[in-house]
Amino acid sequence: MSSSVVTGANLKTKPQLTDTIKESCLPKMLCELAAKPEYQLSEKERELLRLIRSPTMPWMMNIPPSKWYFAAHMGELMRHTSDNLSGPMGCANLWPNCPISSKKLMKLSYKVRV
């Protein structure tokens, strides 16, 4: 995929959409969730972040942190900065190729049953 910003119109196939969600949208969503104060999160959002931040993460076993852990960590760092690129806006700048809002992605997750 090129370095240009991806939009919904650019995604022609289901595999392209799946890859974009996995590589850009999910990390951006995790970052945005972690950038918010915990009191603003739903119970499902808090549970998701607890799972990602679990102390049994692979880095404890000398394996590099996952992209999910990295995304949540970046959001947490942005929560504590005070410039105009902090918080959720900073996350969108880190993952600009996601054409789907994090809010919409969370709504979709409520419909998925595991």
pLDDT in tens, the chain (114 residues): 444 444 455 556 778 878 888 888 889 999 999 988 889 899 988 988 888 876 555 555 566 667 888 888 888 888 877 666 666 778 888 888 888 888 888 787 666 554
Q: How far is CA 71 from CA 13, 49, 56, in A?
A: 26, 10, 17
Domain residue extents for the chain: 44-105
Report field, pTM of the whole predicted structure over 0.95: no
Whole-angstrom distance between the N-terminal and C-terminal Cα of the chain?
Answer: 30
> What does the alpha-carbon distance between residue 15 and residue 48 come to, in Å, rounded to a whole number?
25
